[in-house]
Amino acid sequence: MDSSPLLEVKDLTVTFDGRSVVNDVSFTLKPQEVLAVIGPNGSGKSTLLKTLVGINKKYSGSIAFAPGAKIGYLPQRFHVDFYLPMTVREFLDLKPEHKYSLEEVLRLVEIPGNWLDENLATFSSGQLQKILLAFAIIDQPQVLLFDEPTENVDVVSQESIYDLLHELQDKTGVAMVIISHDLNVVYRYAQTVLCLNEKMLCYGPPIEALTNETLSHLYGDHAFFHHHHFGDHHREEGHEHHHE
């Protein structure tokens, strides 16, 4: 198998209003690799992802995808107006290229086929995320970029989307960049981890990269050593995550 990188990022710096939000980030993503980017809120994770996707165009450094590589993107937020008149079928049809049939893609993301003609507004945020995943993979991208939602998705849905991504990765070998604040995600799903708090604090296989020292640096001493604080901090943002 060709192991030349699918994505090569060098010295990426993103600046907003004179303040650098992402500083000197470099990494590579190989085919079938799962890279988790972790860091506290406001650490520049989402900005990094939006820059990779091409939504944010103001950056310095280089972002090089392998020639012809397609990317699928799962945004952090997708606010469907309750009155948006659109069925799942119509939404999926908005993707310019289809390589899976609608039935195939629904099976992959474990959505019942009878959802196709239901209105988007009738689904929960967890269900919408599966629909978004179907949208992201329907043209069989080589790289999937996933921005973890920070609101309105319950623990069960969140767990199941990760299991789904994991299965999808097994079945299709799609490479992934996953943005998360949750360390469990890293240990369970990723081969490589990148710690980000405006600048890169670690990069490598989780067991080697995630030392106690790095983690306290990343989340701050009090947050790491007192898990209650960690939990409280997240609940403030509308989370229900449990950290063991």
Partner 1 sequence: MNDIFTLTLISGVLVAAASGLVGSFLILRRMALMSDALSHVALPGIALGVVLHFAPIWGGLVFLFFGVTLIWLVENKTKLATESVTGVMFVTALAIGALMIPEQDLLEAFFGSITKLTVLQIGVQALVAAAIIAFILIYKKRLTLFAIAPDLSASLKTSSFKMQFILLALIALTITIGISFVGVLLMSAIVIIPAAAARNMAKSFNGFLAVAVALAILSLISGLLIGEAYGANPGIMTVLVSAGLFVLSLFWRI
Residue 96 within binding range of partner 1, rule CB under 8 A? yes
Kindly give the pairing relationship between strand 192-197 and strand 199-204. Answer: antiparallel
User: Taking the mean position of all CA atoms in its chain, how far away is CA 108?
Assistant: 18
Task: Tell me: does residue 90 bind partner 1 (CB under 8 A).
Answer: yes
Q: Which is nearer to partner 1, 25 or 53 (CB)?
A: 53
Cα dist from 112 to 83, 109, 123, 175, whole Å: 23, 9, 13, 25
CA distance 1 to 10: 24
**CA–CA separation, 35 vs 175, rounded Å?**
8
Which helix (H) or strand (E) segment is 10 a member of?
strand 7-16
Binding residue for partner 1 (CB under 8 A) from 69, 86, 116, 164? 86
Using the rule CB under 8 A, give the single segment among 88-96, 123-131, 156-164, 230-238 that binds partner 1.
88-96
Determine, following the binding rule CB under 8 A, whether residue 87 of this chain makes contact with partner 1.
yes
Lay out the site mask for partner 1 across 103-132 (x = CB under 8 A, - = otherwise).
Answer: --------------x-x-------------
**85 interacts with partner 1 by CB under 8 A:** yes
The residue ranges that bind partner 1 (CB under 8 A) are 50, 53-55, 71, 73, 75, 78, 80-81, 83-87, 90, 93-96, 117, 119, 135
